[in-house]
């Protein structure tokens, strides 16, 4: 059981002391329960995103004085809550909704900024994100795409490589060094973004497989919240990468 999503790793459903699947008397994880909780998390994120969107730009279309609070507050708060959820899975019924609310602030703010520069890009990115999710879900459920061991290894390796590139970009940025071409709107930059979008999308397949495995193994009820949280992490990543790709394409026009 592997997933490129750091929230859904090999030991997610296992007890750290015994190595066996954790069970609870309060009921077992179900697929419908996980789907419902995923929908609730997305709804919470949309609510705060809509508010942050309305507060990010002023009447003249410039960044408002409060925009950095929503942007960086969402980034830092979302990261903290994500780490807490990963290390304290049993807290997911509380931390996962909080993560969705805080992450919505970041998504609303960054989306408003992108949309101010490229009108309509956010609607396109949202539609593409959900279209990809449902297409991959149907392909997975029909058996067209199978999460084999080699498939998982390939996606995890590619995800790790992307993470290292982004980490290097972040660190080198402090020294004024920019990695050439891959972040530009040239053919190489567009190709890189397209590759990242594909890998982010394939992580959804691993997430579907991992959640299904938890249901089959009778994981505890709170893992529905944790599974929904892990799926949302991937959806947020996919949405942001689609935004980047579309912005590069529109910059060439």
Distances (CA, A) of 237 to 65, 90, 159, 220: 27, 24, 11, 27
Continuous segment of H or E residues that includes residue 250: helix 223-251
Please tell me whether the overall predicted TM-score, pTM, comes out greater than 0.75 for this model.
yes
- State the Cα angle at 41 between 154 and 11, rounded to 5°: 40
Q: What's the chain's length in residues? A: 253
pLDDT bucket at 5, cuts 50 / 70 / 90: low
pLDDT in tens, 144-153: 999 999 999 9
| Residue found under tokens 């290390």 | 87
Continuous segment of H or E residues that includes residue 193: helix 187-216
């Amino acid at each position: 059981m592997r997933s490129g999503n750091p929230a859904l790793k090999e030991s997610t459903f296992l007890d750290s002391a015994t190595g066996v699947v954790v069970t609870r008397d309060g009921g077992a994880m179900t697929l419908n329960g996980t789907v419902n909780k995923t929908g609730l998390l997305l709804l919470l994120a949309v609510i705060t995103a809509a508010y942050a969107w309305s507060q990010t730009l002023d009447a003249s279309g410039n960044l408002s004085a409060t925009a950095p609070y929503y942007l960086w507050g969402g980034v830092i708060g979302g990261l903290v809550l994500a780490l807490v959820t990963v290390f304290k899975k049993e807290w997911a019924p509380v931390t996962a909704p909080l993560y969705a609310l805080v992450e919505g602030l970041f998504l609303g703010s960054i989306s408003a900024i992108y949309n101010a520069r490229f009108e309509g890009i956010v609607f396109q990115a949202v539609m593409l994100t959900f279209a990809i999710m449902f297409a991959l879900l149907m392909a997975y459920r029909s058996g067209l795409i199978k999460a084999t061991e080699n498939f998982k290894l390939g996606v995890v390796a590619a995800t790790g490589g992307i993470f290292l590139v982004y980490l290097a970009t972040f660190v080198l940025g402090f020294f004024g060094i920019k990695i050439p071409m891959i972040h530009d709107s040239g053919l190489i930059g567009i190709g890189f973004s397209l590759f990242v979008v594909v890998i982010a999308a394939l992580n959804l397949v691993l997430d579907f497989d991992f959640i299904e495995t938890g249901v089959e193994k009778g994981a505890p009820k709170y893992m529905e919240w944790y599974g929904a949280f892990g799926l949302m992490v991937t959806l947020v990543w996919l949405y942001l990468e689609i935004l980047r790709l579309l912005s590069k394409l529109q910059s060439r026009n």
